Structure 1
Amino acid sequence: MKVIIRCSWAESDPLLRSYHDEEWGVPEYDSRSLWEKLMLDGFQAGLSWLTILRKREAFREAFHGFDPEAVARMSEADVKRLLADSGIVRSRAKIEATIGGARAYLKMRDEGEDFSVFVWGMAGGKPIRNKTGIVHAKTPLSEEMSKALKKRGFKFVGPVIVHAWMQATGVVDDHSPKCFRRHQA
């Protein structure tokens, strides 16, 4: 039987293993999918990623499949409804940040700035491969991108959250040196 070596953070739970093996670090170029993942990473702040993964489908249902148009139209009544939804993380600040993030995303689009082009342009157009194997919580690029996102009206996009999001979406390849997924993109 062949032993699969993966990033150590993914070994503790079958859901994490599946997420790591199939999604984490795979370059994402779809603007809407990039935005959804950024919003989910914002909800993860202060929590484990496993918590968010377990609730991901409930988040998708609560936020209209992460359709930015529908999320941007959400009202205070929707916020109150979501605060009572035990299927998601019930944080007013994070819920309001997601609604505001939809509005910021649409404003970028309406001003001719494609979200994917913005993200990948800042990264140089292709995945950044970690050559050292040392994984940082934040980088100069995540700090720069965090500032750019905040300037556009996004919240819960500090440099640590942004770096985790860049790892998840394959903007940065931070798979450990012996991981079978390292540099597959």
Structure 2
Amino acid sequence: MEPIRCPWCEGFGLYRDYHDREWGTPLVDDRALFELLILEGAQAGLSWSTILKKREAYRLAYEGFDPAVIADYGEADAARLLADAGIVRNRAKVAASIRNARAYLELAATAGSFTDYLWAFVDGEPLQNAWTSMAQVPASTPQSESMSRALTQAGFKFVGPTICYAFMQAAGMVNDHLVSCFRHGQVKGLRRIA
């Protein structure tokens, strides 16, 4: 018998696997958090399933999401990305990804760990929710609004409060699995480990 899952992940196997193995699990790796932030920005106006299907192509196109490499991208690299059918070819999103790599490096030089910087918005531990329906799950929260303001001030683009909240959900900064979902209890038992 199939376990009960959050209804948003039903539709295809890759989506269910992402839900079952990644979404809501505390993420504490600087590079992985940077990748997720770029992908969440790329998702703006699209479905997460679209980005998930393109994630491996993104990893290739962005050379493993190394911020130091991406920060050095110039016009030729932007043109290469815009010609890559494996990713979302949106000029503003591509430009933002390069700008975000530069902002990441500037932030890392002053704030240190990107992980510590981001997790500070939830006081270092995942926020635990107990939603019974998708209608209860907010699009943004005071924490995501605060994160959005801080990242924008630091020079990041495509980091509005809704994008930041989706990022927080995916990175396990908040447990938004429905209480009926088999992952809710599993994720509830996880803590940030760094």
For this structure pair, what is the TM-score category when the shorter chain's length is used for normalisation?
over 0.9
- Match among 161, 174, 179 for residue 181 of structure 2: 179
Q: Any idea what the Cα deviations from partners look like across 1:57-86, whole Å, max 9, x if unmatched? A: 111111110000100000011111111110
Distance (Å, rounded) in 2 between the aligned partners of 1:74 and 1:3: 45
Aligned residue for 1:164? 166
Greater fraction of residues in helix:
2
Distance (Å, rounded) in 1 between the aligned partners of 2:161 and 2:122: 14
What's the offset of the Cα at 1:132? 4.1
Q: Any idea what the Cα deviations from partners look like across 1:114-143, whole Å, max 9, x if unmatched? A: 211011111111100113442101111111
What's the offset of the Cα at 1:113? 2.8
Aligned residue for 2:50? 51
Distance (Å, rounded) in 2 between the aligned partners of 1:31 and 1:179: 28
What's the offset of the Cα at 1:183? 3.7
For 2:121, the aligned partner's letter is M
> In the alignment, is the contact (CA less than 8 A) between 2:144 and 2:164 conserved in 1?
yes
Distance (Å, rounded) in 1 between the aligned partners of 2:146 and 2:185: 24
> In the alignment, is the contact (CA less than 8 A) between 1:139 and 1:159 conserved in 2?
yes
Aligned residue for 1:121? 120
Q: Which runs of 5+ in 1 are unaligned?
A: none
Identity fraction in percent: 53
Divergent runs of 4+, >3 A:
none
Q: How many corresponding residue pairs?
A: 184
> In the alignment, is the contact (CA less than 8 A) between 1:173 and 1:183 conserved in 2?
no
- Taking structure 2 as the reference length, the TM-score comes to 0.92
User: Could you say what the CA RMSD is over the residues aligned between the two structures, in angstroms?
Assistant: 1.0
